[in-house]
Amino acid sequence: MNMSISEIEHEIIEEFGVFENWVDKYDYLIDLGKSIPKINPIYKTDENTISGCQSQVWLHAKCENSVIVFTADSDAIMTKGIVALLIRVLSNQKPEKILDAKLDFIAKIGLEEQLSQTRATGLSSMIKQMKIYAFAFKEKL
C-alpha cells in the first residue's frame, strides 16, 4: 500500500528537522534536485513548460491504475529540489487526494519563500498545474 500524502509530508518534515543550518538544508535540496527521476526528454516540450521569469519547470502527467504519475524537471537545481519533493508527495496518488492536498510541509520545512511571486520560479504555477491534471483525470476516471 502506498503511503498517503500526509504520511509522506510528515516524513519529509522529519527529514528536514535534523538540519541545524541553511547550508545543510540547501545541500540536501541540491542532492534531491540531482536525484530527481529524469523526465523523458520528449516531454520537455513548450506545452509542458511552466515558465517563470527566473527558472522554468517542465511537468508531465499520466494516469496509471487510477493514480497520477508525475515527472518533471527544471533548469535550476534548487527549483529541481523542490520539484522532487512535490513529486515525491503527489505522484502515485489518486486524483481526489491530490486535489485535497494542502502541501503545508513546504512552509514547515522553511521553503515557502520558494513559492513566492517574486521568486518567479514557476513552482507555484507547477502546483496549480498538478491540481489541474488531477481535476482533469478525476473527471475522466
Partner 1 sequence: MSNKNNIQSLFPILKSSVNNNKLVYLDNAATTQKPNSVIAEINKFYLKENSNIHRGVHHLSQVATKKYENSRLVTQNFINARHSHEIIFTKGTTDSINLLASSFGQLLKKGDEIIISEMEHHSNMVPWQMCCERSGAKLKIIPCNKIGELDLDMFNQLISNKTKIVSVTHISNSLGTINPIRKIIEISHQKNVQVIIDGAQAAAHVKLDMQKLDADFYCFSAHKLYGPTGVGVLYGKENLLNLLPPYQGGGEMIKDVSLLKTTYADLPHKFEAGTPNIAGVIAFKKSLDFITETGLGNIKTHEDKLLDYATEKLNSIKGLKIIGTSSDKSAIISFIIQDIHHYDLGLLLDKMGVAIRTGHHCTQPIMKKFKISGTSRISFAYYNTIEEIDHLILAINKAIKMLS
Residues that bind partner 1 (CB under 8 A): 22-23, 26-27, 30, 53-55, 75-79, 120-121
Q: Of the two residues 5 and 109, which places its CB atom closer to partner 1 in the complex?
A: 109
Residue 91: which residues within 8 A CB-CB, separation 6 or more?
Answer: 68, 69, 70, 71
**Helix, coil or strand: residue 118:** helix
Quote the CA–CA distance of 6 and 2 in Å, as a whole number: 11
**Helix, coil or strand: residue 76:** coil
Please say if 63 is a catalytic residue. Answer: no
**Cell 519529509, residue?**
12
Q: Of the two residues 23 and 42, which places its CB atom closer to partner 1 in the complex?
A: 23
Which one from 24, 34, 53, 62 is the annotated catalytic residue?
Answer: 53
CB 77 → partner 1: shortest distance, Å?
5
Closest CA to 67 of 43, 36, 90, 42: 90
CB 23 → partner 1: shortest distance, Å?
7
Q: Of the two residues 48 and 121, which places its CB atom closer to partner 1 in the complex?
A: 121
CB 57 → partner 1: shortest distance, Å?
11
**Helix, coil or strand: residue 63:** strand
Give the residue numbers annotated as catalytic, written as ranges.
53
